[in-house]
Amino acid sequence: MVKRTGHGSFIRQTPRIHAGSLFVSRGSGLGPRVSGMTEIAYMTREDWAQEAAAMVPQSAVIRDWLGKAPHLFAVADPAYVHKKPQSIDRETLQYIAPTAESRHIVSIAQLRSLGADGATYDHAIAILHPHDDTNADAVREFLTAGTFSRALVMVWHGEQLFRTCHDGMHALDLHTGTTTDPIAPVMIEAARMIKNEDYNGLSSGHGKDATVQLLRVFGENGYPIEREPWLRAYFSVGGSIRHAQTIAKLIEEMRRGVRHRVERHYRDDIFAILKGHGA
């Protein structure tokens, strides 16, 4: 059941979520989809704001992509948004959905429960400013679950790992209207092998051995040891933000000339084998 909070008319909130009645109780006429994948888009905050010059037109672009109001938003802390008129999430909400009737707000922590019963919905959700170190992996898992037909994520900035995660998931950059170029199939195969070793972490042991060896071998075969393509490949096979941070650190160290002491994890012709698999 949706009700107004005791804090005025700023937010319409769902304190207790039940996915089966999430939209029907709001009179939206929406019912569950049978199945499907979530269409994902993102916009960085800097592209949205553009030094406070573009928030109005960019918010219109977001509203158009989200579709019919009321719009559903997920933020880290709805109570904080309430209490702090100057909060960044509140500012963003007021531009995208100016009236209380046009928005419903849940917490990012509640996203998992929205599809807990396996239901999927033909409606969009906007997720505002997830952090790499706290809730980005929960958001990533939610996006891959296909609970909603569309999901837009407002990313903090272009250097955030979660922005690269979206590119790896082939999400639409709503500012440019484009997606990134396809990832080389052989890199996808290598990323899948790294993913297979990340269960005990990638900063030591077999995980580090595998990652460093593959980065070196690919570098020797003309594939630059660069953060963006490798992380996009890793995210494309379901990699986590947590382990991607380790890959990014290893790449940075290798580019600085650090020679990691690792044991050989794969046979010498691993590149040729992976190239054959990716062909």
Candidates 70, 204, 71, 46; CA nearest to 127 is: 71
Helix (H) or strand (E) holding 148: strand 148-155
Mean pLDDT of all residues belonging to the chain: 86
- Here the CATH number for the domain that contains residue 111 is 3.40.50
Per-residue pLDDT tens over the stretch 107-117: 999 988 887 77
- Report the alpha-carbon distance of residue 20 to residue 66 in Å, rounded: 21
- Residue 158: the pLDDT is 87
Per-residue pLDDT tens over the stretch 242-268: 999 999 999 999 999 999 999 999 999
Amino acid making up residue 71: H
The DSSP result for 151-205, as a single string, is EEEEES-TTSHHHHHHHHTT-EETTTTB-PPPPPHHHHHHHHHHHHTGGG-SSSH
The alpha helices in 26-171, defined as continuous H runs, are 45-49, 55-66, 78-83, 88-96, 111-114, 136-145, 161-168
Number of domains comprising the chain: 2
Same domain, 253 and 141: no
- Report the alpha-carbon distance of residue 84 to residue 229 in Å, rounded: 39
Pick 34 or 185 by higher pLDDT.
185
Q: Tell me whether residue 279 is in a domain.
A: no
Q: Look at residue 88 and tell me whether its pLDDT is greater than 70.
A: yes
Structural domain containing residue 163: 3-173
- Residue 36: the pLDDT is 60
- Residue 32: the pLDDT is 43
Same domain, 206 and 101: no
> Average pLDDT in the 155-184 region?
93
Q: Tell me whether residue 178 is in a domain.
A: no
Query: What band does 231 get if pLDDT is binned at 50, 70 and 90?
Result: very high
With beta carbons less than 8 A apart as the criterion, state whether 167 and 183 touch: no
- Residue 201: the pLDDT is 95
Q: Tell me whether residue 251 is in a domain.
A: yes
Same domain, 248 and 145: no
Query: What band does 279 get if pLDDT is binned at 50, 70 and 90?
Result: low
Residue where a domain terminates, one of 173, 194, 219? 173
Q: Tell me whether residue 179 is in a domain.
A: no
> Whole-prediction pTM value?
0.83
